Amino acid sequence: MITVKKITAKETYFLRKEILRKGTDLPVEFKEDLDTDTFHIGVFKNTNIVSIGTFIKNKYTELEGKQYQLRGMATSLEERGMGHGKLLLHFATNVLKELDIDFLWCNARENATNFYIKNGFKVSGNKFMVDQVGYHYKMFKTIIHENN
């Protein structure tokens, strides 16, 4: 059974370490993890977390309006391609709608840009290097509010 729900920051650390920080000395904790506006989402297959994402109230200067940044999105290697990331983004988008947020943005790894494009994100600007991690693109998604 697949379920999606809010989780604690600590519950994200295993996948952050295994997928996003493997082979680096970068920390698995983000300074914003415990901020009151930050929330974390997990996708569970039965009782195991298979996909995670952290959502931080943060501004990308190229966008106007209320914004959140997606950080630390990861899916276990065994579960990739099964729609868990899409479920996570859908759940998060609904939370962001409730918060009346206009944009969700991220620094997407170059090899993940197609995933984000398929999920409604657009590339903004040129690629850039993140030390120990690789090339990234800034990407954003407009949060559509049905009431507007």
C-alpha of 82 from chain center: 17
Binning pLDDT at 50, 70 and 90, where does residue 147 land?
A: low
pLDDT of residue 14: 96
Q: Which CATH class is domain 2-142?
A: alpha beta
pTM for the full predicted model: 0.95
Element (H, E) at 87: helix 84-98
The CB density around residue 77, as the number of other CB atoms within 10 Å, is 9
| Model pLDDT for residues 14-64, shown as the tens digit of each residue | 999 999 999 899 999 999 999 999 999 999 999 999 999 999 999 999 999
Identity at 42, one-letter amino acid code: G
Q: In whole angstroms, what is the distance from residue 117 CA to residue 112 CA?
A: 9
